[in-house]
Amino acid sequence: MILYDDSYFLLGKSFELDENIKINNPTLKEIFNFGEEKYFSVILNFISKPCDFKIQFLDLGVDFETINDFEFFGIMVKNIKPEESQILFGGLDFTKMDLYMKESQEKIFKCENIIINELAYTLISEFIRKMNGLPVKKPEKYANEHVKQYIMEVERTKLRYAKKEPFESMLIPLVSGLVNCSESSYSYSSVMDLNISQLHDAIGRVNKVKNYNHVVQGIYAGTLQSDKINQDEINWLK
């Protein structure tokens, strides 16, 4: 099994987990042609955890904390049609995968010669999340059952309102911002050839440069004291 490093995201490389599983790092043009809303709907199936569906589980009479992340992954991806997953996995058909128990008691999802164990699932989920610039969600802990129930009700209210809201593009503001900022040389045409991971790398670097410029201007203007500034904040190459 092959691992990856941060150069994959910088270079926009795809990740070949093994000879049968390859995760594509799509360009912005590919994502917009596929449909941004549909794209993010697909990737959520690969990175979501039971806590993301706590209300749905509650309505089924199931405590989400009793659900294993790996088994939940298998439930989610089995509903993804090949024409939906192809932007990430080419011709891989997740609908044909079933859960098996090896003699060693290790659980795997398998379809013919394609095998996904818990390590492979973790690598797939992490790569897709990092590629799309999505943050790690910390495990939820509750002080007691009363706090848990209160939070569940808050989440239910959020979910109810979210269903009424139309989809808002997450990529259009990033693309427009990158094209129209002085620190970037991209045009609307050239930026479409960036892989999704390269877009997030470019946005992150531009933000660091802008922050550096603001801090330096503040120092020269006398509104900031240089000896009280965290040096990491002005190191735009870090």
Per-domain residue ranges for the chain? 7-164, 171-234
Q: Is 61 left (phi over 0), alpha (psi -120 to 50) or beta?
A: left
Distance between CA atoms of residues 112 and 22, nearest Å: 16
User: Given this model, what pLDDT does residue 165 score?
Assistant: 77
- Nearest CA among 90, 118, 96, 70 for reference residue 16: 90
User: Given this model, what pLDDT does residue 36 score?
Assistant: 96
**Cβ neighbours for 51, distance < 8 A, ≥ 6 positions apart:** 64, 65, 137, 139, 140
State pLDDT tens for residues 76-95: 888 899 999 999 999 788 99
Residue 162 or residue 177, greater confidence: 177
Poorest-pLDDT segment among 8-12, 63-67, 92-96, 160-164: 160-164
227: confidence class by pLDDT, cuts 50, 70, 90:
low
Contact call for residues 81 and 89 (beta carbons, < 8 A): no
* Amino acid identity at 31: I
Burial class of 188 by CB neighbour count within 10 A (0 to 12, 13 to 18, 19+) = exposed
Burial class of 109 by CB neighbour count within 10 A (0 to 12, 13 to 18, 19+) = buried
9: confidence class by pLDDT, cuts 50, 70, 90:
very high
User: Given this model, what pLDDT does residue 29 score?
Assistant: 97
User: Given this model, what pLDDT does residue 162 score?
Assistant: 67
* Amino acid identity at 223: T
